[in-house]
Amino acid sequence: MKVCTDACLFGAWAAQQISTNNAKTILDIGTGTGLLSLMLAQVTEKSKTNITAVEIESQAAAEASSNFTLSPWKERLHLVNDSIQNYTATFTHVKHTDPPFFDVIITNPPFYEGDLKSPDANKNKASHSTELAWSTLIENVATLLMDNGSFMVLVPTLRAYTMQKLAEAQQLNLVEEVLVYNDVKHLPFRSFLHFQKNKQGLHKELIVIRNKIVIKNTDNSYSTAFTDLLKDYYLHL
């Protein structure tokens, strides 16, 4: 499970959002090797935020657990090696109690649908939405997210509208979208979406904040926006 630039950028952007909202509990769905959870643990060091990371694939979960243990924030990082469906059902069906509620939920979910699959079953589990349909993901997010809580997700730009409509059906309102460009010559390839849970449903008057991030300048150097977000995490910036 290699670390991708867009995932690092998403983690830094999410960390920036979270650093100002005083979150006490965070859930990372599909943590992989723990990248996003570690970035959020770093930025919430003063507030002592507790972070739960759920990962279905056993080898990735083992690596995330090792990364958590080796980090300075191991006391606040909690790994669950299971599917998000089972994690939610454990409380509602097994323990017969309400599931925990989180101030913030983040995810870099599987998003390939009809694309050619890899011979590696573990990579397919991480990348293809056959293992976790977006509708199922959103249902679990809506169950686990606290009222007025934030849900942040990384998706391909071409599928951002699909995610938005699924979220709205679960009373998760889009409050910000960031379009990510590799450079100024190409169309955006990723979108960062920030939703807020509201049981009253969609606010028609809600103004959605629209931003963009260009990763590289015309000379192939990293842009100021990219550097500003990632300088606290990348050693070479």
- Asked whether 186 and 157 are in contact (CB, 8 A), the reply is no
Instruction: Give the E-state strand segments of 15-144 in sequence order.
Output: 25-29, 50-55, 77-81, 102-107
Residue 146 lies in a domain: yes
Q: DSSP secondary-structure letter at 112?
A: B
Asked whether the whole model's pTM tops 0.75, one would answer yes
What tokens were used for 49?
Answer: 């935020």
The pLDDT value recorded for residue 116 is 43
- DSSP strand pairing (145-156 vs 190-197): antiparallel
Identify the pLDDT of residue 21. 79
> What CATH number is associated with residue 220?
3.40.50.150
The predicted structure's pLDDT at residue 145: 96
pLDDT at 201: 59
Q: Is residue 235 part of a domain?
A: no
CA 140, distance to chain mean position in Å, is 14
8 A C-beta contact, residue 202 and residue 188: no
Per-residue pLDDT, 159: 96
- Count of structural domains, the chain: 1
In a domain, residue 184? The reply is yes
> Is the separation of the CB atoms in 26 and 18 below 8 Å?
yes
Question: Considering the domain boundaries, does residue 237 fall inside one?
Answer: no
Looking at residue 186, what is its pLDDT? 95
Residue 181, strand partner residues:
214
pLDDT tens by residue, the chain, 237 residues? 578 899 999 999 999 999 877 899 999 999 999 999 999 999 998 888 999 999 999 999 999 999 999 999 999 999 999 999 999 998 877 666 778 899 999 999 987 555 444 455 554 444 434 568 999 999 999 999 999 999 999 999 999 999 999 999 999 999 999 999 999 999 999 999 999 998 665 555 678 999 999 999 999 999 999 999 999 999 888
Residue 159 in domain: yes
Question: 181 lies in a domain?
Answer: yes
Task: Look at residue 42 and tell me if it is in a domain.
Answer: yes
Quote the longest CA-to-CA distance of the chain. Answer: 58
Residue 19 has a pLDDT of 84
Supply the range of the domain harboring residue 36.
5-230
Helical pair 134-144 and 160-169, crossing angle rounded to 10 deg: 40
**Residue 236 falls inside a structural domain:** no
